[in-house]
């Protein structure tokens, strides 16, 4: 499993329904599918199983008004997946919101981080 370092700062999770949110994991799986053309490859890049990656995609496809990812079944030629135009829109909107959140708290985050103690002693 690929180890990932933690990202410092905010990680935006937006609840769109009481039991459904879009956050860094779903955005990363969408970005991975966009870049690799594969749910499995996107999941591997994140260090998660195909089943977990598929479940994230399936959850988004079920909750949004239109599919965000279209997948082709495997076989001799292999499968594949791609973001729909709607999926691209969802990814861009989330990325914009995350950037706005980061920008909005940047000064306060810097001040808070300045208050961390020296742990090298």
Residues 38, 87, 89, 84: is their CA dihedral positive or negative? positive
Measured in Å, how far apart are the chain's first and last C-alpha atoms? Answer: 33
Short-list 85, 84, 81, CA closest to 71? 81
CATH number at residue 53: 1.10.10.10
Count of beta carbons in the 10 Å neighbourhood of residue 6: 6
In this prediction, residue 8 carries a pLDDT of 77
Q: pLDDT tens, 58-112? A: 999 999 999 999 988 765 566 799 999 999 999 999 999 999 999 999 999 999 9
In a domain, 72, yes or no: yes
Element (H, E) at 72: strand 69-72
Contact criterion met (CB below 8 Å) for 46 and 25: yes
In a domain, 35, yes or no: yes
Which residues span the domain enclosing 37? 21-91
| pLDDT confidence tier of residue 1, bands split at 50, 70 and 90 | very low
Short-list 102, 91, 116, CA closest to 32? 91
Q: pLDDT tens, 27-65? A: 999 999 999 999 999 999 999 999 999 999 999 999 999
Give me the mean pLDDT over the 1-9 stretch: 59
In a domain, 110, yes or no: no
Q: How much is the mean pLDDT over the chain?
A: 90
3-state class (DSSP) for residue 82: strand
In a domain, 5, yes or no: no
Number of domains in the chain: 1
The token pair at 60 is: 């988004």
In a domain, 39, yes or no: yes
């Amino acid at each position: 499993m690929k180890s990932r370092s933690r990202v410092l700062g905010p990680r935006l999770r937006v609840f769109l329904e009481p039991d459904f949110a879009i956050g860094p994991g779903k955005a990363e799986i969408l970005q991975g599918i966009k870049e690799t053309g594969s749910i499995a490859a996107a999941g591997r890049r994140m260090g998660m199983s195909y089943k977990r990656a598929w479940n994230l995609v399936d959850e988004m496809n079920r909750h949004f008004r239109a599919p965000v990812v279209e997948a082709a079944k495997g076989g001799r030629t292999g499968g594949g997946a791609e973001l729909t135009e709607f999926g691209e829109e969802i990814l861009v909107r989330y990325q914009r919101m995350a950037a706005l959140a980061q920008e909005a708290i940047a000064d306060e985050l810097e001040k808070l981080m300045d208050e961390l103690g020296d742990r090298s002693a």
